[in-house]
Amino acid sequence: MQAVNGYIENGRFISDKLKKFPKRIQAVLVFDEKEFDGFKPETKNAKAWREFFEAVNSSDEKIPENFEKLNFGREVRI
């Protein structure tokens, strides 16, 4: 294993010491959290909730004041 210092800019790794990488190389990224400003990888659940709320917020439909409660754990026969 070899360590190479550099930085990531626009999704690309930039280093003064290593100019060219093979097409595919296994790597481990270690970064200083202070420089990342609270970045956390998005989980599948977080992504689903984010997309849901983005869709709700971008909808122009009005939400009624009173609407039927939902119970997703209840079995329903149609």
Q: What is the pLDDT of residues 11-60, one digit of tens each?
A: 788 887 777 777 777 888 777 666 666 667 778 888 899 899 899 889 88
- Residue 25, Ramachandran bin (φ over 0: left; ψ between -120 and 50: alpha; else beta): beta
DSSP 66: S
53 located within any domain: yes
> What is the number of domains present in the chain?
1
**Given this model, what pLDDT does residue 51 score?**
92
23 located within any domain: yes
pLDDT digits over 47-76, tens only? 899 899 899 889 888 877 887 777 777 777
Helices and strands (H, E) in the chain, number of each type: 2, 2
- Domain ranges, residue 49: 7-58
- Residues 6 or more apart whose CB falls under 8 angstroms from that of 21 comprise 13
78 located within any domain: no
12 located within any domain: yes
35 located within any domain: yes
pTM: 0.35
